[in-house]
């Protein structure tokens, strides 16, 4: 747990939450993906959302980013009831998301993907044109900050490696996430250097007062940056723990759906 000491964790307890999700349910036909999940996020904290495959983590953050409308439950954004009609509403409210499936268009260039939906414009003769030059510059700059040197802003996203693609998605969300940054398994395809870059970026935006929702299957990554940990299991919360209140082993057991990993761990020589 060497990363542990690198970040100073903000104590955000006395602050009001930016977003409060109360008893959120989401049904897909007969499938109950979320059976009443409550969650809140304060400015300047990193709230980790953990849990087994199929626990409902992605579904939950999609209700937060306007992709899904909850079947039941309420969302309060800055203390006001909020109904996101579509992702565009959430984005204009300052919520940016890196989805598990990235939301990138392979045939489009990196810079066009980066600004998709939020294109910078420049007025020429009263008409708003897409400011490609500015878009290219910002894209190259943001990607460089994330530790990736792009060949050029015109490169099609389809030709990037999986990790490079993920980095573009993260850089984009960091750039547009004015209030809330949601990261759904952002480090799943990343190399060591890029992963520590992402963790450092989370720490940086947190210190600027942005609330971060971080989904990961990696306990070490979660513990490295997380301030609070909420564990989902089969569409329900198993509970929320503050940093320091829970040991890595307990957290790991919770993440596996509350089952003891000890047995498995024994047989694999403690490598899980």
Partner 1 sequence: MAESAQSAIGSDERIKEISPLRRALIRPELGGMVGTVAVFTFFLLFAFDSGMFTAQGAMNWSVVSAQFMIIAVGACLLMIAGEFDLSVGSMIGFAGMMIAIFSVTLSWPVWMAILVTFALCVSIGAVNGYIVVRTGLPSFIVTLAFLFILRGFTIYLPQTIERKTIIGGIRDVAEGDWLASVFGGKIGQGFFVWLGDNGLIETFERGTRAGQPVVDGIPMLLVWAAVIIIFGHVLLTKTKFGNWIFAAGGDAEAARNSGVPVNRVKILMFMFTAFCATVFATCQVMEFGSAGADRGLLKEFEAIIAVVIGGALLTGGYGSVLGAALGALIFGVVQQGLFFAGVESSLFRVFLGVILLGAVILNTYIRRIITGER
Ligand X SMILES: Nc1ncnc2c1ncn2[C@@H]1O[C@H](COP(=O)(O)OP(=O)(O)OP(=O)(O)O)[C@@H](O)[C@H]1O
Closest CA relative to residue 198, chosen from 10, 218, 110, 114: 218
**Site mask, ligand X, residues 76-115, x = CB under 6 A?**
------------------------x---------------
Residue from 38, 71, 118, 218 in contact with partner 1 (CB under 8 A): 118
Residue 2 to residue 63: CA distance in whole angstroms:
34
Residue 187 burial (10 A CB sphere; 0-12, 13-18, 19+): buried
Task: Compute CA distances 57 → 1, 63, 96, 272, whole Å.
Answer: 25, 10, 16, 21
CB of 123 to partner 1, least distance (A): 12
Contact stretch for partner 1 (CB under 8 A) within 121-129, 186-194, 202-210, 235-243: 121-129
By beta-carbon proximity to ligand X, the closer residue of 94 and 257 is 257
By beta-carbon proximity to ligand X, the closer residue of 112 and 165 is 165
**Of partner 1, Mg ion, ligand X, none, which one does residue 206 interact with (CB within 5 to 8 Å by kind)?**
none
3-class DSSP state of 201: helix
- Is residue 33 within the footprint of ligand X (CB under 6 A)? yes
CB of 57 to partner 1, least distance (A): 16
Characterise 216 by phi-psi region: left (phi > 0), alpha (psi -120 to 50), beta (else). Answer: beta
By beta-carbon proximity to ligand X, the closer residue of 59 and 230 is 59
Let me know how long the chain is. 272
Residue 47 to residue 208: CA distance in whole angstroms:
15
**Six-digit token string for 64:** 């937060």
CB of 32 to ligand X, least distance (A): 8
By beta-carbon proximity to ligand X, the closer residue of 62 and 165 is 62
By beta-carbon proximity to Mg ion, the closer residue of 67 and 108 is 67
Task: Compute CA distances 55 → 32, 50, 134, 217, whole Å.
Answer: 11, 9, 41, 12
- Is residue 53 within the footprint of ligand X (CB under 6 A)? yes
Residue from 6, 16, 28, 72 in contact with ligand X (CB under 6 A): 28
3-class DSSP state of 158: helix
Binding region for partner 1 (CB under 8 A): 65, 67, 86-88, 91-92, 97, 99, 101-108, 112, 115-119, 121, 128-130, 132-133, 136-137, 140, 149-154, 156, 158-159
């Amino acid at each position: 747990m060497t990363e542990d000491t690198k970040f100073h964790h903000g104590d955000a307890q006395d602050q009001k939450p930016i977003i409060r999700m109360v008893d959120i349910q989401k049904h897909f036909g007969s499938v109950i993906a979320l059976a009443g999940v409550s969650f809140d996020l304060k400015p300047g904290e990193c709230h980790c959302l953990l849990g087994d495959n199929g626990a409902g983590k992605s579904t939950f953050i999609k209700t937060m980013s306007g992709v899904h409308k909850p079947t039941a439950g309420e969302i309060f954004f800055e203390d006001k009831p909020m109904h996101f009609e579509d992702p565009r509403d959430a984005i204009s409210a300052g919520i940016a998301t890196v989805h598990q499936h990235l939301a990138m268009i392979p045939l489009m260039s990196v810079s066009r993907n980066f600004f998709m939906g939020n294109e910078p414009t420049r007025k020429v003769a009263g008409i708003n044109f897409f400011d490609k030059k500015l878009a290219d510059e910002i894209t190259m700059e943001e990607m460089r900050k994330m530790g990736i040197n792009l060949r050029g802003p015109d490169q099609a996203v389809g030709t990037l490696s999986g990790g490079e693609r993920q980095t573009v998605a993260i850089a984009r969300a960091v750039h547009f996430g004015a209030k809330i940054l949601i990261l759904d398994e952002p480090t799943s395809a990343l190399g060591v250097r890029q992963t520590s870059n992402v963790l450092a970026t989370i720490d940086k935006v947190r210190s600027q007062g942005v609330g971060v929702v971080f989904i990961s299957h990696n306990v070490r990554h979660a513990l490295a940056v997380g301030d609070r940990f909420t564990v989902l299991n089969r569409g329900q919360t198993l509970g929320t723990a503050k940093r320091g209140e829970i040991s890595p082993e307990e957290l790991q057991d919770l993440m596996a759906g509350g089952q003891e990993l000890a047995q498995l761990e024994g047989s694999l020589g403690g490598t899980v």
